[in-house]
Structure 1
Amino acid sequence: MSGKPAVRTVLGDLDPAELGVCDAHDHLFMRSRLLPGQELDDPAAAEAELRAFAAAGGQAVVQWTPHGMGRRLRDLVVLSRTTGIHLVAATGLHQAAHYAPERLRDLDLARLFVAELTEPIAPIEPAEPADRAEAAGPLGRAGLIKVAGGYHGLDRHARWTMTAAAEAHHATGAPIAVHHELGTSALDVLDLLCGRLGVPPHRVILGHLNRLPDLRLQRQAAESGAYVALDGPSRINHATDHHLFDTLAALTEAGHAERLLLGGDTTTSAARGNPGMPYLLTALRPRLVREFGPELPELVFRANPARVLAFA
C-alpha cells in the first residue's frame, strides 16, 4: 500500500472518497454449524441482492463473514467485477462455537490475519476451496478484522482472537470490527482492545450495540472514540427497529454523529421474508432525511464508513 489512506476491497485498494454509499455490516456468504438451514451460499442470489442494492443507490458492502465461515472470496471478486459494487471482506474469527474444534487447533492467529490482509487468500484455507481468491495481484485480500465477544463477558477464545486482532492491526493498520452478543460487553472489549492492547479507539467498530437498548452504554462507547454500528434493521429475528431512531437521536444529540454506522446484517435469505440490503436505502434513508436532515445520512452511509475502513 502507498502512503495514502486506502480502503482495501477484494479488487484492490481504493481511495476512501470513491467508496460511496456503504452498507457497513452485511453478509453475502456465510455458513455456521450453529445456523443449520440458514446458509448463504448461492452466488446468483448474492448477485441479485447486490444489483438490488445498487439500484437503490448503494455502492459498497462490508461483508463481516470471517475466516472459516464460507466467505467465498473468489465469488466476491467476481461479484464485485460484475455488479460494480465495492466489496470489503473480513479476516478474523467468530466465537468458538461456530467452528469444529479441530479447525481451531494449532492456528497462529496473528500470522493468519496479517496474511489474509496482505496476500490473496488462497492456500491458507484448504478446507474451503470456494473461499480461495484468484492468485493474481492484490485480488481477494481482506480489508477488515472481525472478532467476537460473548454474552456479558469475554471468554478465553475471545481474548485470544482479540489479542491476535490487535497484533494484526498494529502490523497492518486494518480496522477491527467486533460482534457483541446481544449487544453486551462493549466496555470489556474497549478495555481489552484499546486499554490493554493499544488499538486506537477510532480503529474499532462496535457491532450490534442496538440489540441492547442501553443509551448510557452506547453513549459511553461512542465517547471512547470507537465507531458504533447499529445493524440489523433488515433482519427478521432481532427486534432492533423500534428503538433505532431513538438511539440515533440520542447519539447525534450527544455529538457522536461522526461515529455512527448503519448495516443490514442480512444473514437470512430474502426469500424467507427478509427485506434485504436495499431496505437500508429504500426505507431507512428517507426517514433519516426527514428526521435529521441530509447531513446525518451522508455521514452514516458515506463519510463514516470511508473514514473507519481506510488503512492509515
Structure 2
Amino acid sequence: MDNTTLIPLLIILVCAGSFLYKGIRGFLAASKENRRVRELDRSGVRARGVIAVVHPLERSPHGHRVTVTVAGGDGRRWEAVDASGLNGYLVREGTPVELTYAAGDPLNIRVERAAFPLPLQGLYPLYPHGLPKPPSPAWPLLYAVGGAALVLGVGVLVLNGGEAAGRFVPLLFAVLGPVFLVLAVRGLIRRGTGERRLTAEATGVVTDAWTEVRRRKGNNERHRTYRVHPFTLHFRAADGREVHHRHPVASGSFEPVVDQPLQVRYDPEHPADHALVGHMNAALGKSVALFFIGLVSTVLGVALTFVFWSTPPV
C-alpha cells in the first residue's frame, strides 16, 4: 500500500473514530442521566425543602446549581444538590420549594416548584410545559454509528474510484436536504407559536461576558479560528421572579459588556420563556441554519445526481 492510499485511509479512520468516540461518550452520559430521571419518575417521593445555597453560574449553559435542605415526611433532614439549572430561574437562598427525591437514593432530587418572591402568592412550577424528559441514549448512539458508517462509506467510494463517489455522494445530499428543510420549517412554526406568548417586557443586564476562540475548516482544509462572544443575562419579571442563565446564542458580531442593559420580551406566565429584542435568538438561529443547509444540500444534491446518473458510465 503506497502513501497515496495510506494517508487518505488514515484520515478516514481518524474521522470515523472521532464519531465513535464522541457518540459513545454521549451514549454513556445520556444513559446515566436517563437512569437517574427514570428512578425519580418511578419511585419519586414528594417532599418540601428550602434553598440553602445558590452556586455560582460559572458560565454554565444550564443555569445555577442549588443545594437544597430537604425535609422528609418522617422528620429527617438532609442536603442534596439539584444540578439541572432550574430551567434558567434564579431561586434565591431561603426560598421554600417542592421537590421529588428517589426513594432508594435521597440525594437524587428534582426541584419542581418554588415560592414566588412576593408573599401570599403560593408556588409556581419551574417546568410548566412538563417535567424535563431524560435524554435518549439512542441519539448519540445513532450519531456514533451513522457518522462512522457515513465516513467509511464515502471513504470507500473515494478510494475505489471518483466515479462511484460522484454517483452516490450527491444522492446522499439529495436525500438529507429535504430532512433538514422539514426540521427547519417545524422549528420556525414552533418559534412563531411560542413568540405569541411573549407579551411582557423587561430590561435585562449582562452579568458576564467573554470571548471564545473556535475553529472551523477553510476551503484549503486548514483550520481557521474565529471569535464569538457568549454572555450571561439576568432580568426580573414584574412578579419578582428572576431569570439568570447563559444566553444560548453567541455571535461574532454582537459583543456585549458587563452591566450592559438589554431589552427582553417574556411570557408573563413563565418568564423563563423569553427572547432578546432586536437580536438573534437560539430557536431562530438554529432554524435559519438548518434551512440554509437543507436548501443548499437539496439543490446541489438533486442537480449533481441528475448530472451523474443521466450520464452513462464509461
Output the TM-score relative to the length of structure 1.
0.22
Greater share of strand residues, 1 or 2?
A: 2
Q: Bigger relative contact order, structure 1 or 2, given CA contacts below 8 A and separation 6+? A: 1
